[in-house]
Amino acid sequence: MNVDEFKDIIWDKDENGIVTVTLNIPKRKNALSNVTFLELYYAAEALKKDKTARAMIITGAKDPNSSDPKKEAFSSGGYFNMAFLKTIDPELMKEIEIADIAQKKACLKFWDLDKPVIAAVNGLAIGAGYTFAIACSDLIYMSEYAWVRFGFVHLGILPEFATTYIIPRLVGFHKAKELFYFGATLTAQETVDLGLANEVVPHDKLLSYCKEKASLLIPPKAAGLGVRLQKRAMHKPLVEALSNALDAENKGLGKATTTYDFSEAMNARKEKREPVFKGK
């Protein structure tokens, strides 16, 4: 898949080799489907192969029907819709691994990248909409209006993108369990204070600030190879652990998505009511 074939994301490379990847499904608040994850995989591959591409920024598209910056979305999470799967082009379906709910393929592709990746979180980031950013970016800058929710427990499922391994090592085991077990919601500043993002930035300056930061990681302002070697040195020792975590998450998600509680959560969401779980 070439970058000009993307449907869910927009690839834009500037004259400095900084690629901006925009999650562009505003009608569903940039929720990530199997197709989106596949396109992100190919975006990472394109960044790796393109010698003129030096860094990547990932952000979310604005809703064209709203001018309120407080209602913007980075990503509202994973897109669970079985009917949608039937609409995917058969050729694309050959590349999609339905059992890879934790997105091992995309996660390890980004983890293998040695070029810097920055997440510009411009609005709400729920579930996979934030675990993706944690696992796949090197730096996370948040709009003052952004917020995060680890709402997996409300769906009867568990986190993905190896964040059951990564987040406890960022915030500590007990805090990570608190975030996951209670489906915590965090403001942008709380996210930074916990070490789950780098900095809160004024909303209207977020993208330009991220581009400025990216420019400081590549020539001529930085020894780009030095940055890439540092990233390789930090990432390589963790590949096996991440792979194991992704396998465990896939096993758990495969089980969780067949339960009564997951079905109840999905039905409750459609019917706009509180779910009544049975623990089975």
- Each domain of the chain, given as residue ranges in start order, spans 3-204+217-271
Q: Is 0.75 surpassed by the pTM of this model?
A: yes
Task: Assign a CATH topology to domain 3-204+217-271.
Answer: 2-enoyl-CoA Hydratase; Chain A, domain 1 (3.90.226)
pLDDT per residue as tens, the chain (280 positions): 899 999 999 999 999 999 999 999 999 999 999 899 999 999 999 999 999 999 999 999 999 888 899 999 999 998 877 677 667 777 777 777 777 887 899 999 999 999 999 999 999 999 999 999 999 999 999 999 999 999 999 999 999 999 999 999 999 999 999 999 999 999 999 999 999 999 999 999 999 999 999 999 999 999 999 999 999 999 999 999 999 999 999 999 999 999 999 999 989 988 999 999 999 8
Q: What angle do CA 74, 78, 80 make, to 5 degrees?
A: 140
Residue 3 contacts residue 22 (beta carbons within 8 Å): no
Instruction: Please say whether the dihedral angle defined by the alpha carbons of residues 163, 169, 174 and 176, taken in this order, is positive or negative.
Output: negative
Cα→Cα distances 71→20, 25, 29, 74, 122, Å:
21, 15, 10, 10, 10
> What is residue 27's three-state secondary structure?
helix
